[in-house]
A and B are shown apart, each in its own frame.
Chain A
Amino acid sequence: MSPPRLTGALRSFSNVSKKEAITEQLYDLKTKRLKRRQLFAREGLTWKKIFHLCSEHQDKADQQAASQELKSLLLAAKDIVGTEHGQAAIESAAVFLFETFHNKDHVGTEETRAIKQMFGPFPSSAAEASCACVARLVALLGDSRVENFIQTLCSRHNPQRSSAFGRNIAFSHDCYALDPLEDLPCSGIHEENASLDF
């Protein structure tokens, strides 16, 4: 709980702020994750494009192997996103997993956090399976080809940070600290506190 604050009193007792219950939470994490998934699905990378990448310039044996891995990736994605969602949601989740693991050899903390942020709690076996699938796919397709593909299509890898507001502003993290006039006089405590707390 926040300690008592002046601005809290001003919000409660003056008429200069918007009156509304701050505790009322419009969006819970479930809604937020759903919204993130919708936004991700609108980005440049799609399941169709990954499928196309896996099938072009490949001999038949590699194509078959890739197709098998893509199926396994979809299954893992289904385990992560949940069965109640439709095919489009599962494919979008598989795209996310492909993008997350394309340059990773294991499921680290960062990847776990990223998947949880997108889908909520998930079975770790599904994450391990998808990581392994993606690694085998990348081995079939070649690291640099996959990297170029991701860089070209994934807008999250090309954010317009260079033009973001405030990028050149020198921000200070300094914060106010206690600046007392004097220390607690030690002699005062011990002499007087024995009998005066009534």
Chain B
Amino acid sequence: MACARVPLDEQQVTEPGPLGKEHTLPALHPARKEERCFVPYKPPPEDGSPAEAEEFLEHAKFITEDLDWLLALPHDKFWCQVVFDDSLQRCLDSYLHHAPRGLDLAALPSSPAVVDMQRCVHRAVFLTFLRMATHKESKESFLTPAVFGEIIYENFLFDIPKILDLCVLFGKGNSQLLNKMIENIFTQQPSYYVDLDETVPTVLQVFDTILGKCGLYCEGAAAMEPMKLNSQKQHTAMTMSQQDLVDLVLYLCDSTTTIHAFLDIFPAACSSFHSHGFLSRLTSFYETAVPDLESAVRKRNFDDKGLQEDLWKRLSHSCRKIVEMAHLLLHHTCLQPILEGGENMQTFAEELLQHFTSFLPEKRFLSDYDEQFSIADDISLLQQALPLIDETRTSYLLRGVESAWDSVGRRRPH
């Protein structure tokens, strides 16, 4: 055991070496890692055959046993294992990759033993990530914050896709813990903000890809590329194969749920997304893609009506998540600073009005947004915080919202 009140990264330990002779080495050293051979995770079988279920149980038991052992290790041994054992990182990565999400198409396993085992693995993986995101466990067991930041970043213990996976897998019931974890990770290692900044264009590209697959106009880089004269006729949501449509809707559903979970759990990320014009890309995506996809799901012939209904639900869920994402972005980047009061209230109010104005041509999005988050309420809030706000402008906006409702042929619920 390493000595107390000194950060782990500065501790030395004296212990028997491979030849039995005592030697002194840093407490955080590859020689102190145990050969444990963590196995990668495989998801529960979908068809539930007893042999496959048994195989899953055996595999998962190895993982829970090993992770329970890891979690019971003292602080110094835990970090030696985490930093120097590749098999552990592969095991954790494989869980993030393959663990079933609540929204996956596959039915839940029917065997209670499989369900129980999956729950055990789920908990153990979360606790392992939680411990890996904690640089101070007690007065005696801690890492220097800067060194902790360096360790988690340089060893890819956390990266942006992993953080997004953690949010979508564990965020529903553990949002407060996850918020603390992610906040600590970003605070101790600000390079994650740089990585997030680099990731947002790829996220935007995902939405462009969906538009492209539907044969719709992309606002992004792809739209700038000239189309080959001999390129084949572009498929649309109506003409693509049914499997492609299913995949596309699943992809949209996963993407919107994941980004929403991340922004909801870690609102500090909103400014990174905002700075890339995420809001306007999101609203124009909604306006362009949603009616097309909705129409395809409603009008195409599905032999399996259950699948058609499921796709509709996923599409509608995605719509809700996009609207909620837009609200999160507006709330955290404009509304919240106005409500908190401060020097730049006028600038934030101007920006908020600018965003609402930019929504006016996106009539379908605007009416769906207004249904969930009343724009009139936000404007009223704005008027209370800043009584001198231009009334002509706000009236124009509110008329625009009404007209959006009229043009999509729906009646306002409020």
B371 partner residues in chain A, CB cutoff 8 A: 181
Q: A189 contacts the other chain (Cβ, under 8 Å)?
A: yes
Partner of B173, one of A2, A26, A173: A173
A175 at the interface (CB under 8 A from B): yes
Q: Are B177 and A169 in contact (CB under 8 A)?
A: yes
Q: Would A180 and B320 count as touching, CB distance under 8 A?
A: yes
| Residues of chain A contacted by B258 (CB below 8 angstroms) | 5-7
B 232-284 contacts with A by CB, 8 A: 238-239, 247, 250-251, 253-255, 257-259, 261
| Chain B 109-133 interface 0/1 with A at a Cβ cutoff of 8 Å (1 = within) | 0000000000100110011001100
The complex places the Cα of A144 from the Cα of B362 at a distance, in Å, of 78
- Residue from A6, A14, A116, A169 having most chain B Cβ neighbours under 10 A: A6
State whether the Cβ of B37 lies closer than 8 Å to any Cβ in chain A: yes
Q: Is residue A52 within 8 Å, beta carbon to beta carbon, of the partner chain?
A: no
In contact, B105 and A3 (Cβ under 8 angstroms): yes
**Interface: B309 (CB within 8 A):** yes
A185 contacts B298, C-beta separation under 8 Å? yes
Is there an interface contact between B298 and A173, defined as CB atoms closer than 8 Å? no
**A160–B274 alpha-carbon span in the complex (Å):** 47
**Distance A35 CA – B302 CA, assembled complex (angstroms):** 51
A184 at the interface (CB under 8 A from B): yes
User: Interface-forming stretch among B8-16, B95-103, B326-334, B351-359?
Assistant: B95-103
How many angstroms from the CA of A82 to the CA of B59 in the assembled complex?
A: 22
Instruction: Categorize the interface residue count of chain B.
Output: 35 or more
Set of chain A residues within 8 Å of B159, measured between Cβ atoms:
16-18
Tell me the bound Cα distance from A35 to B299 in angstroms: 57
Interface flags, B137-170, vs A, CB<8A=1, else 0:
1000000000000000000100111101100110
Q: Are A181 and B320 in contact, with the CB atoms below 8 A?
A: yes
Q: Are B205 and A13 in contact (CB under 8 A)?
A: yes
CA separation between A7 and B202, bound complex, in Å?
10
Query: B398 at the A/B interface (Cβ < 8 Å)?
Result: no
Q: Cα distance A88–B39 when bound, in Å? A: 26
The listed residue (A16, A35, A166, A193) touching B160 by CB distance below 8 A is A16
Q: Are B97 and A2 neighbours in the complex by a CB distance under 8 Å?
A: yes
Within 8 A of A (CB), among B269-307: 297-302, 305
Across the interface, do B38 and A184 meet the contact criterion of CB distance under 8 Å? no
B130's partner among A166, A174, A179, A183 (CB-CB below 8 A) is A166
Instruction: Check B308 for interface membership: any CB of A closer than 8 A.
Output: yes
- The one of A4, A10, A18 in contact with B203, judged by C-beta atoms closer than 8 angstroms, is A10
A-side residues, CB < 8 A to B, are 2-11, 13-18, 22, 25-27, 29, 31-32, 35-36, 39, 113, 116-117, 159-161, 163-166, 169, 171-185, 188-189, 192-193, 196-198
Using a CB–CB cutoff of 8 Å, the interface residues on chain B facing chain A are: 35-40, 43, 54, 57-59, 61-62, 68, 71-72, 78, 86-87, 90, 93-94, 96-98, 101-105, 119, 122-123, 126-127, 130-131, 137, 156, 159-162, 164-165, 168-169, 171-174, 177, 195, 198-199, 202-203, 205-206, 209, 238-239, 247, 250-251, 253-255, 257-259, 261, 297-302, 305, 308-309, 312-317, 319-320, 323, 368, 371
